[in-house]
Structure 1
Amino acid sequence: MVKKRQILVIGNNTNGCTPEHEKIAYDIGVEIAKSDSVLITGGLGGIMTAASRGAKDTDGLTVGIIPQDDASEANEYCDIVIPTGMGFTRDFLNALSADGVIIVGGGSGTLSEVCASYMSKKPMVAIRNLNGSVEQYIDGYLDHRENVKIVGVDNAQEAVTKIIELISA
């Protein structure tokens, strides 16, 4: 049996998540399911719920790695819930569980996951023009180490196609 690709989708939680963010995240979830990859999220609201719903609507497999210690805190579209009880530290588990990362907007929590992914040299793509915390780093690097470039894309289909290409490289 071959291991399935695991793609982490990160971005705005319920606070700050716009209808545009939700639509893009939903479409990313659909495309991840169509690619026969596993969707990983932080398992909560906003981008995480929208991406998970898109994957579920397309018969995909979803995993939510939540900061709480109670699995019932996860959104209803998570097939597998990993309650960590670790708070923000769970961002590192999210990054390390992924083969690649797709970024949709986001604030400081998203930036924390991006930093964890960057230090672990995980391939990353980010949707352009969403005014998220990583906007200034798109098509560049977080720092002088140049661990991994954050590749800019314009839509959900391009995001999933590009992350699969980067994971396979």
Structure 2
Amino acid sequence: MRPLRIGVIGSGEAAAGDADLAHAVGAALARAGAIVVCGGMGGVMRAAADGACSEGGTVVGILPGGDAGAAAGGVTIPIPTGLGEARNVVVARASEAVIAIAGEWGTLSEAAFCRKFGVPVIGLASSLPEGVVEEVADGPAQAASRALKLAEARRELSRRRRVNA
């Protein structure tokens, strides 16, 4: 069975506390065997990638530009898209659940695409408007745990639909 793909979205310039949360989330996801999907650049994305990398995890960075070398150090698989902010759609589609940490307009767009595509969004220290985040987690461990459970449920539902089609 393929590993679950959990997105971590948030500000490209994260405050220290938000970066600490993202690092802990990335580490928890890697320990659980999930692949971390992110925008591959700075702030929350870098911290989540570094956290996952510190635990030997795999991080897919969906980059806005065309240069794979621009990816944050913890990104193990950089995907240069050349799409700019439109790469947010790819982050949403590539994720089976998403954890939103802090963030502003770009994070809001990623979360909105997730909701449109049926991808669960867990908030952690998130400033996203009510209704965008499906659940709010108390800490990194709970955010990772809930995202993994919701991704598993989503994958199982998808499998059942394919079998019954």
When normalised by structure 1's length, the TM-score is 0.87
Spell out the pairing of 1:109-148 with structure 2 (5 A cutoff).
109-128=106-125, 130=126, 132=127, 134=128, 136-137=129-130, 141-142=131-132
TM-score by length of 2: 0.89
CA deviation map 1:115-143 (0-9, x unaligned): 11110010110014x5x2x1x31xxx24x
| 2:43 paired residue number | 46
Name the CA distance, whole Å, in 2 between partners of 1:32 and 1:43. Answer: 16
**Does 2:12 correspond to 1:13?**
yes
2:115 aligned partner, one-letter code: Y
Question: Distance between the aligned counterparts of 1:91 and 1:19, measured in 2?
Answer: 24
SS in 1 for 2:41: coil
Residue 55 of structure 1 corresponds to which residue in structure 2? 52
Task: State the Cα distance separating 1:6 from its structure 2 match.
Answer: 0.3
Which residue identity does 1:156 align to in structure 2? P
Does the 8 Å CA contact 2:88/2:110 hold for their aligned counterparts?
A: yes
* Count of aligned pairs between the two proteins: 153
Question: 1:168: Cα distance to partner?
Answer: 2.1
Q: Give the structure with the larger helix fraction.
A: 2
Ranges in structure 2 where 5+ consecutive residues have no aligned partner = 154-165
Q: 1:96 aligns with which of 93, 96, 99?
A: 93
Q: Deviation of residue 77 (structure 1)?
A: 1.0
Matching residue of 1:167? 151
Flag as ranges the 4+ runs of structure 1 deviating above 4 A.
none
Identical pairs, percent: 29
Corresponding position of 1:4: 3
Confirm or deny: 8 A CA contact 2:4 2:152 kept in the other structure: no
Cα separation, 1, equivalents of 2:2 and 2:149:
16
Q: Distance in 1 between matches of 2:3 and 2:9?
A: 19
Q: Which of 39, 56, 62 is the matching residue for 1:65? A: 62
